Amino acid sequence: MLRTNTCGELRIEHVGKSVTLCGWVQKTRKLGGATFIDLRDRYGITQLVFLGDDENSKTLGQEGFTREMVIKAHGTVVERESKNKNLPTGDIEIKLQNIEVLNKSITPPFTIEDETDGGDELRMKYRYLDLRRAIVRKNLELRHRLAIETRNYLDKLNFLEVETPVLIKSTPEGARDFVVPSRMNQNQFYALPQSPQTFKQLLMVSGFDRYYQIVKCFRDEDLRADRQPEFTQIDCEMSFVEQEDIIQTFEGLVKHLFKTVKNVDIAAMPRMTYADAMKYYGNDKPDTRFEMKFTELNDLVKNKGFKVFDDAEIVIGICAKGAAEYTRKQLDELTEWVKRPQIGATGLVYARHNSDGTLKSSVDKFYNEEELKKWSEALNSAPGDLILVLAGKEEKTRKAMSELRLEMGSRLGLRDKNKYSCLWVVDFPLLEWNEGDPNLLASLAGRWHAKHHPFTSPKPEDIALLKKSPGEVRANAYDMVINGVEVGGGSIRIHDKELQATMFDTLGFTKEEAQKQFGFLMHAFEFGAPPHGGIAFGFDRLCSLFGGAESIRDFIAFPKNNAGRDVMIDAPSEISEEQLKELSIETIIKTT
């Protein structure tokens, strides 16, 4: 090793030791005759000093040590006169005897500090410099720690990590596949997996019993903010289990991660049905760090002459604790906020529950205090609270109210990123009607789609509904939600060939299509498939949640931008005519 120690490990007990450190020059400063250098590596910062009281040091001091230069410094550990309590190495410094420049650095395009002057675009182009910032590197260290602890937990429970293939077969179900032209099989393509779903089920057929993998998956989506074309899952499957077993096992995993990585104890996680989540939060991934549940007000507010409510399919109220003091200006701004196209409400009705107990609404013309008291009772408001009401078409209104609830939660400081509220959402519908989704092929519009995926089992008592009322069938499916983020989800799978065939039929596959796409799986089920189920966690998202961040991007070493580009290496890019020819493909639109 070019060094004897890292820049993070020397302490007062090392005083007198002769050491060699390597690292980057964080900064230099002169004080009296002495020159100080903060030397940085992954492990910390150590102060180097030329005392300038001998010839040797003088020579050293004359070299220019610029930021981000890489040096190798040899000297003796000495006790500092003025200690730095903010630095683990702050009790000591290295009195230099010798210094060697290992590599120079031109001036970086932004400062390598926690607070940087680099914008997003610059940081991504020079990601290798951005990763030098302790704040970003710590995110990747957290990711490493989470991966290690995930493996430790699952290994102890006899899960086997099995690598499934990356070059697989394109399936039209779900989102768009990335495809890979095959040179050796002309006119044929591999696809990159959206998940190892079928392979993990086959491993259960193989009797592997407990499988996991931390695995890259791929989805060719129109990228919304904070989606990546390649992402990582903790992918798991178990045999001879029921829903409760999966829930217990993976609640255990998440508790283990919180305990070992963050030293946070998580209590038993509550369960909520999908129906309740939609009813009380308008959302299948409610943020339960705060209450502010929906209350349906139809019975109270209709037929009082207020046309907006009378015409609405649904009228929903929430009670924002302690927000009665909101000014007219704040309320107008909130009204504008809900009317933005992303939220889509037509207006906002409010009622202040004043500290003197009186009630005052924006629709006093139609509702007297008597009526408003009933609102207050329904919403359980107290003096000082603010009641907010939205009305309109049911689905749209629930969605808008969900957004408003989250916004009010944020504004009222109820969404503390250091507080964790975990929840299982269960009893999802098996199917949903898809009118058309820009991320699906056009040919998939106007059909029933699997809400999770086509291998999810319906609840046994609902199987009879599959033919006559597919929308009412509930699935043995479950999501883990933490702080309003869906971190994981899974289901008990179908292990019966006939039921799987019925499912494909319901999803609009012809027998031939089902056979072509999933024939191998259905055939596998004929050879003694065990009952099985599993779950997958979005690992990037889990990391960002543990890191207390909104965006997953800084928990991925080399992320892509919203156009799916890696701006650092400039990919994707054109390839040579020779490559195209070998693959027997041509691009339709030529650049000239």
Q: Nearest approach, Cβ of 215 to a copy of itself (angstroms)?
A: 9
* Residues sharing a CB contact under 8 Å with residue 514, sequence separation 6 or more, in sequence order: 501, 504, 505, 522
Contact 58, 52 (CB under 8 A): yes
For residue 515, CA distances in Å to 417, 467, 522 come to 47, 20, 8
Contact 533, 243 (CB under 8 A): yes
Q: Nearest approach, Cβ of 434 to a copy of itself (angstroms)?
A: 16
Q: Nearest approach, Cβ of 418 to a copy of itself (angstroms)?
A: 24
Phi, psi angles (nearest 5°) of residue 583:
-90, -5
Q: Nearest approach, Cβ of 197 to a copy of itself (angstroms)?
A: 12
Strand-pairing partners, residue 353, are 359
Contact 456, 476 (CB under 8 A): yes
- Residue with smaller CB distance to a copy of itself, 130 or 385: 130
- Residue with smaller CB distance to a copy of itself, 51 or 70: 70
Cα separation, 575 vs 573, whole angstroms: 6
- Residue with smaller CB distance to a copy of itself, 12 or 148: 148
> Tokens 């107008």 label which residue?
332
- Residue with smaller CB distance to a copy of itself, 185 or 469: 185
- Residue with smaller CB distance to a copy of itself, 175 or 331: 175
DSSP for residue 266: -
Cα separation, 35 vs 50, whole angstroms: 5
Longest Cα pair distance anywhere in the chain, in angstroms? Answer: 95
Q: Nearest approach, Cβ of 247 to a copy of itself (angstroms)?
A: 12
Q: Are strands 70-79 and 18-31 parallel, antiparallel or unpaired?
A: antiparallel
Spatial CA neighbour of 420 closest among 542, 541, 289: 289
Q: Where are the beta strands (DSSP E) in 288-363?
A: 295-296, 314-320, 349-353, 359-361
Q: Nearest approach, Cβ of 542 to a copy of itself (angstroms)?
A: 14
Q: 270: cis peptide before it, omega within 30°?
A: no
Q: Nearest approach, Cβ of 425 to a copy of itself (angstroms)?
A: 23
- Residue with smaller CB distance to a copy of itself, 112 or 400: 112
- Residue with smaller CB distance to a copy of itself, 135 or 160: 160
Q: Nearest approach, Cβ of 570 to a copy of itself (angstroms)?
A: 7
Q: Nearest approach, Cβ of 493 to a copy of itself (angstroms)?
A: 12
Contact 357, 319 (CB under 8 A): no
**Residue 347: CB atoms within 10 Å:** 13
- Residue with smaller CB distance to a copy of itself, 55 or 244: 244
Q: Nearest approach, Cβ of 573 to a copy of itself (angstroms)?
A: 5
Tell whether the torsion through CA atoms of 526, 527, 530 and 532 is positive or negative.
negative
DSSP for residue 455: T
- Residue with smaller CB distance to a copy of itself, 128 or 433: 128
- Residue with smaller CB distance to a copy of itself, 392 or 533: 533
